[in-house]
Amino acid sequence: MSDVLTLDALTPDRLTAILQRKGHVPQGRIEQLTIESSRTTLISAIARLRLEWSLDADGRLPSRLFLKMSRPDQHPELAAGVLKEVAFYDTVAPLLPPGIVPRCYDAVRDPAASAFHLLLEDLAETHFVVTEWSLPPTMEQCERIVDVYARFHAAWWNDPRLGAEVGTFMDDAAIGRWLESYQQRFAAFADRLGDRLPLERRRIYERVLASSSRLLARYRSRQHLTIVHGDAHVWNLMYPRDTAVDNLRLIDWGGWRLDLGVKDLAYMMAVHWYPERRRRVEAPLLRRYHDALASNGVTGYSFQALWEDYRLSVIWRLAVPVWQSSVKLGPWIWWSHLERTLMAFDDLGCEELLE
Domain coordinates of the chain in residue numbers? 7-121, 128-354
Q: Which of 226, 227, 205 is nearest to 215 (CA)?
A: 205
Q: Which CATH number fits domain 128-354: 3.90.1200.10, 3.40.50.300, 3.50.50.60, 3.40.640.10?
A: 3.90.1200.10
Main-chain dihedrals φ then ψ at residue 48, nearest 5 degrees: -105, 130
CB 273 within 8 A of CB 136: yes
Q: How far is CA 313 from the centre of its chain?
A: 15
Q: What is the mean pLDDT of the chain?
A: 95
- Please write the tens of the pLDDT for every residue from 275-293: 999 999 999 999 999 999 9
Query: Does domain 7-121 match CATH 3.40.50.2000?
Result: no
Q: Quote the CA–CA distance of 24 and 193 in Å, as a whole number.
A: 52
Q: Quote the CA–CA distance of 99 and 1 in Å, as a whole number.
A: 34
Residues in Cβ contact with 116 at an 8 Å cutoff, skipping those fewer than 6 apart: 4, 68, 69, 70, 82, 83, 85, 86, 107, 108, 109, 110
Residues in Cβ contact with 200 at an 8 Å cutoff, skipping those fewer than 6 apart: none
Q: What secondary structure does DSSP assign to 230-262, as a single string?
A: S---TTSEEEES-TTT---EE---TT-EEE-TH
Instruction: Name residues of the chain where pLDDT drops below 50.
Output: 1
CB 25 within 8 A of CB 45: no
pLDDT at 1: 46
CA distances from 295 to 95, 155, 263, 290, 292 (A): 20, 11, 20, 9, 5
